[in-house]
Amino acid sequence: MHHDTRLSRRAFLAAATGTLISTGLPGTFVTLAEGAQRAMAAERRPDGRLRLPPGQTAVERIPDMGGMPGTASPVDWRLRIHGEVDRPVTLSFADLLQFEQVRVTCDVHCVTGWTLLDSVWNGVRLATLVEHARPASANGFLVLEAAHGYTTSIPMHDIRNADVLLAHGLYDQPLPKPNGGPVRAVVPDRYFYKSAKWVEGIKIVSNDEPGFWETRGYSNSADPWKEERYRK
């Protein structure tokens, strides 16, 4: 369905990061059986939207979509919250655990066409962390800064959704390194490239700074129900 895109993304990633992406590609992920797919396609969310956004196929478990992992362990990991804030802070992993902990069950949607239903994440709401740093304005953007220069941005008002997290756990286990450990963002209602893995910084800005994929042809708004896959 999106094979050309997948292959070009793979080639691009290999060139951009020096890492060959070997999983999560066409044919290598396990999709739900056809009957289950059809049943899912008829299901709706509490907000009335389709459970499975257009053009998506549900998979059985989370594929590891690659990217270049950060080197931080929970012991040396730091998170810098900076930019247009009144109280810039640097947090350790131990600090992160001092904030209110939440457990969120949600669906995540990769722009290449797979959807993982009912994934379970443990972490801290992004809103909690951002409020801690006292942003200068409520209407700016968050630039999520990951290892090796991967970035993505989300509007400040999007983090009011209680499901938007900085996650350190997946299915109640420490977040595996390939999936972004020790700490990643989870932004469930946007294509999954907005969910930066190996997050090391959150920069608050009043003017948006489109990120890694957003400056390489992908949509900056990334709404799966509007199929906003590519930049117009």
Burial of 212 (0-12, 13-18, 19+ CB in 10 A): middle
Q: Does 67 bind ligand MTE (CB under 6 A)?
A: yes
Q: Which of 114, 121, 192, 218 binds Mo ion (CB under 5 A)?
A: 192
- What region, left, alpha or beta, does residue 164 occupy, with left being phi > 0 and alpha being psi -120 to 50 degrees? beta
Tell me the window of 26-34, 92-100, 135-143, 188-196 that interacts with ligand MTE (CB under 6 A).
188-196
**Residue whose entry in the numeric block shows the structure tokens 């907005």:** 194
Helix (H) or strand (E) holding 42: helix 34-42
Q: Where are the beta strands (DSSP E) in the chain?
A: 57-59, 78-83, 89-92, 102-109, 114-125, 141-146, 151-155, 165-170, 173-174, 184-186, 199-205
Count residues contacting Mo ion (CB under 5 A)? 4
Tell me the window of 3-11, 70-78, 127-135, 186-194 that interacts with Mo ion (CB under 5 A).
186-194
Residue 158: count other Cβ atoms within 10 Å of its Cβ: 18
Q: Pattern of binders to ligand MTE over 124-153, x per CB under 6 A?
A: ----------------------x---x---
Tell me the window of 7-15, 73-81, 162-170, 184-192 that interacts with Mo ion (CB under 5 A).
184-192
Closest CB to ligand MTE among residues 64, 84: 64
Of residues 2-61, which lie at the interface with ligand MTE (CB under 6 A)?
none
Distances (CA, A) of 144 to 40, 78, 165: 32, 13, 12
What does the alpha-carbon distance between residue 54 and residue 121 come to, in Å, rounded to a whole number?
24
Query: Taking the CA of residue 6 as centre, how many other CA atoms within 13 Å lie in the half-sphere pointing to its CB?
Result: 17
Q: Which does 77 bind (CB under 5 to 8 A by kind): ligand MTE, Mo ion, none?
A: none
Q: Does 193 bind ligand MTE (CB under 6 A)?
A: yes
Tell me the window of 44-52, 62-70, 88-96, 219-227 that interacts with ligand MTE (CB under 6 A).
62-70
Residues that bind ligand MTE (CB under 6 A): 62-65, 67, 110, 146, 150, 179-180, 192-193, 195-198
Residues that bind Mo ion (CB under 5 A): 110-111, 192-193
